[in-house]
Amino acid sequence: MRMIVMSAMVLLAGAPASAAPSPAEQAATAPTKGQDSSTSKPADDFNLDQVMAVFDKIFPAQPDPAPERLALSRIAVKGLFPDGTYARLMDGMMHGVVDRVLNLSDADLGKTGTKGQRADTTTWRQQAMRDDPHFEERMRITERVMTEEFGKIAMILEPRIREGLARSMARRFTEKQLSDINAFLATDSGRAFGSQSMAMWVDPDVLRGMIRSFPEIIAAMPAAMKRVETETAHLPKPKPKPPATKRPRRAR
């Protein structure tokens, strides 16, 4: 059901995509009854190495920072990104967001009923419970498992994020600046700030500030595109793409 899918999307937001095809994908690519499997077109294999190679081109490796600055920045990062930070961020977001999503209804999305009727105000949680009496228990178990499993994933993610952040800081700040940052992070106020610095970026007020900017951003897009059109008007038009040719159907 729709509400279960949306809840699962929230729960799985931080989890990496699996390289293995889903049951639906396997069914879609499996030969149909009476079809020779040897002539069926195989699905494209997921090539993780190729995907990572593309990311390497989009985000190329940066120059190695000076060793002295990198050593100082690693100390700073330990204060700004302590162990368990990523898992705590996701855990804190999961519980509240899933509950609030499930308490939405079609009416909250601006949908209208048929033939002038009022939009359905039954929450997605209530709709799910009508079809599945064990929905609440199922969601509690799902949320617990996903939280525990993401804790394992965080143990892989965090050291790499921490090292990347350290390299970035080492390139952006001087030894003097990094020493000053570390001195602050060593104080009681600095430790308090460091333990909360990442969590502040997913605070509801911060996210609300971003989301509430969407109408203005969307409203500004036509003018931006018009400007692009005006300022590229002197350039020759791109060559039109040739029409796609349809492949002849293979006789069964």
State the DSSP H helix or E strand holding residue 74, giving kind and residue range, or none if neither: helix 67-80
Hey, what amino acid is at 18? S
Say how far apart CA 86 and CA 158 lie, in whole Å: 7
> Which among 163, 158, 166, 186 is positioned nearest to 69, based on CA atoms?
166
- Residue 65's pLDDT is 95
Q: Average pLDDT across each block of 10 residues of the chain; the chain has 252 residues. List them in order.
A: 41 39 42 46 72 92 95 96 84 76 87 74 92 93 88 91 96 98 98 93 90 95 96 93 74 60
Residue 59 is predicted with a pLDDT of: 92
Phi-psi region of 181 (alpha: psi -120 to 50; beta: other; left: phi over 0): alpha
Whether the CB-CB separation of 195 and 80 falls below 8 Å is answered with no
What six digits make up the tokens of 9?
């999307």
20 touches 115 (CB < 8 A): no
pLDDT score for 143: 86
Helix (H) or strand (E) segment spanning residue 214: helix 214-231
pLDDT tens figures, 152-167: 998 999 999 999 999 9
User: Cα separation of 220 and 216, whole Å?
Assistant: 6
Cα→Cα distances 140→16, 97, 128, Å: 21, 13, 14
Report residue 114 as tokens: 């048929």
pLDDT of res. 248: 66
Q: Which residues contact 144 (CB under 8 A, 6 or more apart)?
A: none
What is the pLDDT, as a whole number, of residue 252? 59
Q: What is the token pair recorded at 147?
A: 């939280």
- The SS3 assignment for 137 reads helix
- Sequence spans of domains, the chain: 55-111+119-197, 202-230
Contact 76, 185 (CB under 8 A): yes
pTM of the predicted model as reported, rounded to 2 decimal places = 0.67
